[in-house]
Amino acid sequence: MRFRSLNYFYKKWITVVSFGLLLGMIACSSDTEFLRLKGSDTEVNLSVLLAEAFYKQNQSLQLSVSGGGSGLGIAALMNGLTDIANSSRPINLEEERLFKEKKKEIIPYVFAHDAIAIVVHESLPLDSISVEALRTIFSGKIRQWTFKQLPMTIYGRQSNSGTHSYLKQKLGIDFSLYAKEMNGNAQIIEAVKADKGGIGYAGAGYVIKNGKQQGTGFKILKVYEKNALAYSPLDFDAVVHKKYYFQRPLYQYILKSSYAKALPLLTFEKSIEGQKIIINNGYFPADIPVHE
């Protein structure tokens, strides 16, 4: 039963082909290389899992994985402090300009997809929510739930977060000044669990494992547009067929000078084993079509 959705994925989608974690002990061989990955909080746990599995097969490449946010990862790439920037958003025009100014070429790579889960306290009498209602809530136009006159608290991320940037653009809003900015996805979940009026968002990998909600004390809302059907990030097929409203590619931006060194890891991420790790941990396959 555990691998039912994976078998589906293999047939239809596979193409064969905290943090600061250092993988590997000091190598005995002088041929050992070192690869640094930094950035997205949404991606960091997944990157650690992939790096651990990769290192078991290839100990000639030591890997350092750390978080801090998509913006921080891109800035680190620009300043030569990492080889790969994990980013849950595309690089913006200003960042492109700065890379060109520094004469640094980068290569974009999509290794997985993510669905952003909208989460509320488990006691909230709500199972689905409209996109329009989320615009109203996250922009701060209302500050109280209509039922029980319950105060509403928004939990989100800082502005350097790729998830924050994605939702802001997708909803076409500026976030409420009253929103509480948390350091990461896990902190948002914990805050919502402790607040009966709380609402927040998190990468699916933080709340989904093997197709089921991971953890208690909160619930994941279905999302719908106008009079359309409501879909949940728990619905693997809905995300794969691009029916869920909040879904996006997960990027890795690689310095061209580091690409040859990074290629074995990139190839592993797209392999059957790598994609199995991605799907088992609440993320989605790499080859869902990307339309910017």
What domains, with CATH codes, occur in the chain? 4-113+250-280 (3.40.190.10), 114-240 (3.40.190.10)
**Is 15's pLDDT higher than 70?**
no
- What are the residues whose beta carbons fall under 8 Å from the beta carbon of 28, sequence distance 6 or more? none
pLDDT for the residue numbered 76: 97
Distance (Å, whole) CA 241 – CA 244: 8
What does the block give as tokens for 100?
């060109």
pLDDT digits (tens, 9 = 90+) for 49-81: 999 999 999 999 999 999 999 999 999 999 999
pLDDT for the residue numbered 260: 96
Q: Cα torsion for 135, 139, 144, 146, to the nearest 10°?
A: -20
Angle at which helices 272-280 and 259-270 cross, to 10°: 70
Kindly provide the b/e burial profile for residues 202-222, where b requires at least 16 CB atoms within 10 angstroms of the residue's own CB: bbbbbbbeebebeeeebbbbb
Token pair 């990862």 is found at: 73
- pLDDT band (50, 70, 90) for residue 28: very low
pLDDT digits (tens, 9 = 90+) for 206-264: 999 988 999 999 999 999 998 899 999 999 999 999 999 999 999 999 999 999 999 99
What is the percentage of the chain residues whose pLDDT exceeds 90?
A: 82
Per-state percent for the chain, helix, strand, coil, to nearest 5: 35, 25, 40
Are residues 284 and 110 in contact, defined by beta-carbon separation less than 8 angstroms?
Answer: no
**Is 4's pLDDT higher than 60?**
no
Are residues 207 and 189 in contact, defined by beta-carbon separation less than 8 angstroms?
Answer: yes
- pLDDT band (50, 70, 90) for residue 31: low
